[in-house]
Structure 1
Amino acid sequence: MTKPGLDPASAIPPFPVTRPDDRPFDPDASYARLRARAPVSPVRCPAGMDAWLVSRYEDIRAVLADPRLSSRGAGSMHMLPSYDRADPPPGSMIQLDGEEHTRLRRLLIGEFTVRRLAALRPAVQRITDRHIDAMLAAGPGADLVRDFALPIPSQLICELLGVPYADHDAFQRDSEVLIGFEADEATRDAATRRLEDYLGELVTQRLARPQDDLLSRLIARGKAIERPPTVEELATLGVLLLVAGHESTANMIALSALVLTADPDRAAALRAAPDTIGPAVEELLRYLSVIQFGLLRYATEDVTVGGTPVAAGSWVVAAIPSGNRDESVFPAPDTIDLRRPSRPHLAFGFGPHQCIGQQLARMELQVALDTLLRRMPGLRPAEPLAPSAYKHNDIVFGLRSLPVTW
């Protein structure tokens, strides 16, 4: 991604994108200065628009909960030079507000109940053990991203949706295009169309022959509401679930494994107290904050954010990584403390658009990391990672590869 430079005709600084070379898990150092001096500050985004960058925890929560700040620009689209600001496509739940958003979210909420997640846990354990078995049989030595972190959530979301896992290479390539910033508009559009056509065909098949999978259940629930979702809406929802259902979790698994195994004492302490895996995962989610460029919102009317007037028609970026490093909420925020007292973090967002699959992601992380530490106690990075190993230019921060040995 080309880093935006300061426009000589304007005093508006560029959006902060640079991580410290010696601390790759830390967000841009300017966030700490902004929290202290200018918590609601104008920035120029790579997509070309100027926006208000919100850097404090409480202000971020207020932004994400305010119905006057529309999600039509949801995600990190402010980082795309080719961002199309037209109305979102039908079924793009994360870009819809109010009743349109609620209508689609209600279809999905039943997939993420405590009961259903408990029923899924054995499947996550089975998939995790299978990939550890394969690494142990082939090793020592593996790429933890390719051989473990990526296939676990990818295979699970395929099983949930009823997507043949044999097709995962194709949708993984298109998924990588969509979460990156380096592809041109035509390439992104083509990847989107392929995924929508693929899911649209699956939806059509399930309409004719329902099965025991998530798409079939969405269709069944949709028939019971006043305005059933169209095939196009269901296909778009399917793409969202397919992409979001594995990208963030896969990158969190890989980064968390690196953080844990790079420090033998930290790994040993967690291995000795497996009942602490829940709080440890929450701290890793806070510390890593993989949605690295925040969430975009659009002011539909005049609002005040953190004491700063924001005019209707303005763009606002809720800087998730900065909020999760807010000193007023998390003491010593740049230090990872796996026993940190519980305080809600912002890794899954906040408000009506808070990640609907967050409990599934938590469960996958807990099972994957606990099993990895338990079954591979000697696991460690095989070599120092080059800067190019990190996904600095993607919506989701992560690792392209992680060579390990044991």
Structure 2
Amino acid sequence: MISSPEIVDLSDVAEDLYRDPYAVLAALRARGPAHFVRLPNGSEVWLIVGYDEALAALGDPTLIKNWLRATGRIGPGAIGANMISSDPPDHTRLRRLVSREFTARRVAALVPRVEAIAVELLDRMDSGAGPHDLIAGFAFPLPVAVISELLGVPFLDRTEFSGLCGRIMASAGDATSTEKDIEEINRYFDGLIERKRADPGEDLLSALIRVTDEDADRLSHAELRATTFLLLVAGHVTSTNLIANGVLALLDHPDQLAALRADWELLPRAVEEILRYDGPQPFSTRRFTTTHWPVGDSGTVIPPGETVMIALAAASHDPARFPRAGDFDIHRTTPGHLAFGHGIHYCLGAPLARVQVSTALRVLLNRFPALSLSCGADRSWRRTLISRGVTDLPVLLR
């Protein structure tokens, strides 16, 4: 067991980590599957960078998610009882209740609206002179509109709701701003939940208010609010970055873009490769060891009471799992990327994210066959480890 591990100070390479985490993480992985690191925000954690070890960590129930149980304090940015920061049996109950209503059928029913919203947004972009910011005009408003319809946000509230979503996305990595934005959107959700109780509809939030299980259990108000917040984040931040990262990957690899245009049957594979190659969440949320945790057969054992993060980006680029891992290849057939996690905390919003990015890419690329990046545009990446995406994406439509 390592009693005083060497600290790898990632704050020294913070800009590289935001801009191109894959190179930084590959260098770490070459030295071993797990390292004790200091993150750019100053916190010290064990970071898992190997694929097999990441898969094991994501699926191990001895690595817990509950901050209060593990540390005796509430974690930063806490939003109440939710699936991400809970363990069984609490997690089991919450996921069961939400899964009863956030179904594949409900997501599939959204497909025509996703396509209609995408067409409407591209109509607006096409009416103005270029270059156009694809994030401001398309990749951001599309998921916001979709999550608004899914949750049943009233039409007259959507401008306010979109502004709240934008501030949460813009303040990622700024703890003070994020806390203020969370407080404001929680106040909005409090009011929306009360309105839905009085006048329910066919939307997901109304369904979550009504849902019960075989024991007549239901979600409390705090659980409803926290669940709604999670759906908001999963429904717009992840999808915004996924759409933008996907467009970037395809435009950076014209041979792959040409292959997709020539055969739209490749679209599902292209989406999975985008998720693997440059997914929207490069690092997992935190877990905590409850016992001595051996990192595979590396000889490293993480002591109990330690904080663990999984570098999803490193795992999905591990050449031991994915041959030519640094290549973007929409014909790739190797399954198992970890962009949406693994195990009991596998992202519940994954089907919705897949629907949105596949629809967005198909509608966008068919509408604008000559779509290209604006010449000379510098890429500015968001300064956060939890969410990967550019702040803007200037493109030429024709």
TM-score norm. by structure 1 comes to 0.87
Note the C-alpha offset of 1:46: 4.5
Shift of the 152–41 alpha-carbon distance from structure 1 to 2, 3 Å rule, reads: same
Residues 1:12 and 2:23 aligned together: no
* C-alpha separation in 1, matches of 2:161 and 2:385: 20
| Structure 1 match to 2:30 | 36
Determine if contact 1:92/1:236 at 8 Å carries over to the other structure: yes
* C-alpha separation in 1, matches of 2:258 and 2:333: 20
| Structure 1 match to 2:116 | 126
Amino acid of the structure 2 residue aligned with 1:171: L
Residues 1:402 and 2:397 aligned together: no
| Structure 2 match to 1:392 | 383
Per-residue CA deviation, residues 309-332 of structure 1 (Å, 9 max, x unaligned), is 222101111110100110101111
Note the C-alpha offset of 1:18: 4.2
Shift of the 101–197 alpha-carbon distance from structure 1 to 2, 3 Å rule, reads: same
Residues 1:99 and 2:92 aligned together: no
Note the C-alpha offset of 1:351: 0.7
| Structure 1 match to 2:355 | 363
Amino acid of the structure 1 residue aligned with 2:7: I
Note the C-alpha offset of 1:183: 4.2
2:57 alignment partner, one of 55, 60, 63: 63
Determine if contact 1:145/1:401 at 8 Å carries over to the other structure: yes
| Structure 1 match to 2:330 | 338
| Structure 2 match to 1:148 | 138
Residues 1:171 and 2:164 aligned together: yes
Shift of the 13–140 alpha-carbon distance from structure 1 to 2, 3 Å rule, reads: closer
Q: What SS does the aligned partner of 1:92 have?
A: coil
Segment of structure 1 superposing worse, 86-95 or 309-318: 86-95
Determine if contact 2:63/2:290 at 8 Å carries over to the other structure: yes
Determine if contact 1:174/1:195 at 8 Å carries over to the other structure: no
Segment of structure 1 superposing worse, 114-123 or 371-380: 114-123
Unaligned runs of at least 5 residues, structure 1: 1-8, 75-82
Segment of structure 1 superposing worse, 269-278 or 295-304: 295-304
Note the C-alpha offset of 1:13: 1.6
Shift of the 88–386 alpha-carbon distance from structure 1 to 2, 3 Å rule, reads: closer
* C-alpha separation in 1, matches of 2:201 and 2:251: 41
Residues 1:53 and 2:44 aligned together: no
- Written as runs of structure 1 = structure 2, the 5 A alignment for 1:7-406 is 11-15=6-10, 18=14, 24=19, 26-46=20-40, 48-72=42-66, 85=75, 90-164=80-154, 165-176=158-169, 180-184=172-176, 187-222=177-212, 225-307=215-297, 308-387=300-379, 389-393=380-384, 395-405=386-396, 406=398
Per-residue CA deviation, residues 61-88 of structure 1 (Å, 9 max, x unaligned), is 11011111012359xxxxxxxx953895
Q: How many residues are matched?
A: 384
Amino acid of the structure 2 residue aligned with 1:221: V
Shift of the 257–73 alpha-carbon distance from structure 1 to 2, 3 Å rule, reads: farther
* C-alpha separation in 2, matches of 1:270 and 1:14: 41
Amino acid of the structure 2 residue aligned with 1:337: D
Q: What SS does the aligned partner of 1:258 have?
A: helix
Shift of the 346–273 alpha-carbon distance from structure 1 to 2, 3 Å rule, reads: same
* C-alpha separation in 2, matches of 1:18 and 1:46: 6
Determine if contact 1:19/1:27 at 8 Å carries over to the other structure: no
* C-alpha separation in 1, matches of 2:236 and 2:98: 17
Per-residue CA deviation, residues 191-240 of structure 1 (Å, 9 max, x unaligned), is 11111111111111111221111111001114764432221221111111
Segment of structure 1 superposing worse, 209-218 or 295-304: 295-304
Note the C-alpha offset of 1:395: 2.5
Unaligned runs of at least 5 residues, structure 2: none
Note the C-alpha offset of 1:254: 1.1
Determine if contact 1:112/1:359 at 8 Å carries over to the other structure: no
Per-residue CA deviation, residues 238-280 of structure 1 (Å, 9 max, x unaligned), is 1111122100110111121122124433322211101100001
Q: What SS does the aligned partner of 2:8 have?
A: coil
| Structure 2 match to 1:4 | none
Shift of the 10–115 alpha-carbon distance from structure 1 to 2, 3 Å rule, reads: closer
Determine if contact 1:88/1:96 at 8 Å carries over to the other structure: no
Amino acid of the structure 1 residue aligned with 2:231: L
* C-alpha separation in 2, matches of 1:336 and 1:142: 25
Per-residue CA deviation, residues 155-191 of structure 1 (Å, 9 max, x unaligned), is 000111112322233312441255x21343xx33221
C-alpha RMSD over aligned residues: 2.5
Shift of the 139–174 alpha-carbon distance from structure 1 to 2, 3 Å rule, reads: closer
Shift of the 111–357 alpha-carbon distance from structure 1 to 2, 3 Å rule, reads: farther
* C-alpha separation in 2, matches of 1:273 and 1:112: 31
Q: What SS does the aligned partner of 2:55 have?
A: helix
Note the C-alpha offset of 1:50: 2.8
* C-alpha separation in 2, matches of 1:280 and 1:67: 32
Amino acid of the structure 2 residue aligned with 1:367: T
- Counting aligned pairs with the same residue, the percent is 35
Determine if contact 1:43/1:50 at 8 Å carries over to the other structure: yes
Amino acid of the structure 1 residue aligned with 2:169: E
Determine if contact 2:22/2:317 at 8 Å carries over to the other structure: no
Note the C-alpha offset of 1:41: 1.5
